[in-house]
Amino acid sequence: MEKIQFSGETQGTYYAITYYTSGGQNFQESIDSLLDQFDQTASLWVENSMINRVNNNEDVTVNDVFIDLFRISLEVSENTNGYFDMTVGPLVNAWGFGANNSPSISSGTVDSLLPLVNYRQVGINRRKVVKSDPRIKFDFNAVAQGYSVDLVSNFLESKGIRNYLVDIGGEVYARGKKPRRKRWKIGIEKPSDEQFSTRELKAELPLTDLAVATSGNYRKFYEKDGVRYSHTINPKTGFPVKHALLSVTVIADKCAYADAYATAIMVMGLEDALLFIKEKKVELEIYFIYSGEDGTYKTLMTEGLKKSLKELN
């Protein structure tokens, strides 16, 4: 079996793909095209993308990918009691984490925008998006990266490849094994106070036929007047989250779900996340990194990870 390895850029981040094949085919060109097509549907940074046209209330017939992103988002919203919400777009923009990248928050802004954030106020009928208010805006960023991992994985499967690792911006799907039946190994980053600090690993996890996604508040934020604002917006309050939970890593069958649930659990905070786990609405394995009362990093993990996940420091 020949090892094929390549990397590139997509969705404002990197991708890295490794697979083993007896045919020696390099599919980078096809995968680049696949990812470009995906951006034309789901990226808020592509001017005439389908999601932007929907947000601008143009007459758009949405495609299967948009419908799939909508369906997954709706399912995760229902299962997390609204801690995940694909209509959070107006708040993301107002806090300066959208495509315009400039915060426009003032007293009363959040109160005026909160009525526009409710996944129950949107639907799809005959491939047309229906909104209760034209000012509602979609944001698939909390599911899109994971979904694109699944897209690439499905493409590789269609080519008969059964042993591969797809990594897009840290969201990962591992299939099969490496030669000599070695499992793929995934690193989980240690949170840092500095936005551009050197990345250190907190834990590593062997992985086969599973997806991993991590959501954290320690890389994407800005500071204004001495206050740090996280990119993770709570759709219930309208404000960036502020709690002791620093990082959530979710292991699931599909990366879109791992990505979406990681975001939702990050919004919940540790206490509500532990209640969510007890409810057992979905089968997930989760690794938490949080700040203890003494300021040191603490960790928690679900039962299924205790035999395989190895903490490094």
Question: What ranges in the chain are assigned the alpha helix state H?
Answer: 28-42, 50-55, 64-79, 89-94, 109-113, 141-158, 255-268, 270-279
Residues 6+ apart with CB under 8 A from 20: 1, 2, 3, 4, 161, 163, 164, 176, 178, 179
Q: 255-268 and 64-79 are packed helices; what angle lies between their axes, rounded to 10 degrees? A: 40
Domains annotated on the chain, with CATH = 59-138 (1.10.3980.10)
Residue-level pLDDT, tens digit, the chain, 313 residues: 899 999 999 998 999 999 999 988 999 999 999 999 999 999 999 999 999 999 999 999 999 999 999 999 999 999 999 999 999 989 988 887 776 666 667 668 888 999 999 999 999 999 999 999 999 999 999 999 999 999 999 999 999 999 999 999 999 999 999 998 899 999 999 887 665 557 789 999 999 999 999 998 755 544 554 544 557 889 999 988 888 899 999 999 999 999 999 999 999 999 999 999 999 889 999 999 998 888 888 999 999 999 999 998 7
Region class of 74: left (phi > 0), else alpha (psi between -120 and 50), else beta: alpha
